[in-house]
Amino acid sequence: MRLLDLTLKTAAENVALDEALLEQAERAASGHECLRIWEPTSPLVVLGRASRVRQEVQQEACESRQIPIIRRTSGGTSIVGAPGCLMYALILSYQSRPDLRLLGQAHCLILRNLVKFLRPLLPQVTVAGTSDLALEADQACKFSGNSLRCRRNYLLYHGTLLYGMPLELLETVLKHPPRQPDYRGGRSHAQFVVNAPTTAADLRGALIEAWQPTGMMGDWPRQATAQLVQEKYSRPEWNLRH
């Protein structure tokens, strides 16, 4: 596994790069596992692959604030990213990790591995719902949402880790989600989502410890990323469909 610590200039490029890394791995014979870490420099909304914009997003609020809306290739509901929200993506091989072929098991194995290395920083961290990380006190509050995309030989698993996010953005640009885990209990974004009391550096360290990359990725799929932006992630036909 190689480490790619890279934030690109635009929201579309950053979302496209995760897919480009997955497709690059699929085309290669082997040896293309990677951990990518990045952090938005300005707010963005990222829809799930099957999300309906009108159900999940306050589109007029995004437009008035010039917040881009980008649709990712993985499932789940819409999320907001901004400075203070660390993003990560894993490209994992089924040949090396056959247990990940079962989707429920993939969430469990990947998140439990991350929890193991987050617990020294966040003693109350737990896996919650299908694919969240939460902090437990009287009521569990979410600080990480995660989703996946499966191909024949590799899995893309990516998510968020909130540590200094302007949480008021969630109420401004997202509607109450049409699908929610039981542990949310109908709570609003403000009641349900929290920042983890830690730093970006410590979260980066936990990700690296959890996945043990053996070196830095020498290059990344620039041309494929640019092509995906041009053909897909810059187009309303993809981002705003449904």
For the CA atoms of 102, 108, 113, 119, the dihedral, rounded to the nearest 10 degrees, stands at 170
Question: Does pLDDT of 208 surpass 80?
Answer: yes
Quote the pLDDT of residue 238: 97
For residue 63, what are its two tokens?
A: 């437009």
To the nearest 5 percent, what fractions of the chain are helix, strand and coil?
A: 35, 25, 40
- CATH classification for the domain delimited by 2-239, as one of 3.40.50.2300, 3.30.930.10, 3.30.1390.10, 3.40.50.1100: 3.30.930.10
CA distance to 45, 216, 224, per residue, from 229 (Å):
16, 24, 9
Sheet of 44-47: strand order equals 69-71, 44-47, 79-81
Do 13 and 39 contact (CB within 8 A), yes or no? Answer: no
- The 10s digit of each residue's pLDDT in 57-98 is 999 999 999 999 999 999 999 999 999 999 999 999 999 999
Q: Could you give phi then psi for residue 174, rounded to 5 degrees? A: -115, 140
Closest CA relative to residue 95, chosen from 25, 41, 191, 182: 25
Do 76 and 56 contact (CB within 8 A), yes or no? Answer: no
- Please state the domain extents for the chain: 2-239
Do 32 and 217 contact (CB within 8 A), yes or no? Answer: no
DSSP 184: G
Quote the pLDDT of residue 38: 98
Quote the pLDDT of residue 28: 86
Query: What is the pTM (predicted TM-score) of this model?
Result: 0.96
Question: Taking residues 216-228, what's their average pLDDT?
Answer: 96
Q: What is the full DSSP assignment across 188-231?
A: -HHHHB---SS-HHHHHHHHHHHH---EE-S---HHHHHHHIII
> Which residues is 147 bridged to in the sheet?
158
- Backbone angle region of 38, left / alpha / beta, with phi > 0 → left and psi within -120 to 50 → alpha: beta
DSSP 182: G
What percent of the chain stands above pLDDT 70? 99
- The 10s digit of each residue's pLDDT in 120-139 is 999 999 999 999 999 997 78
Res. 160 pLDDT band, cuts 50 70 90 = very high
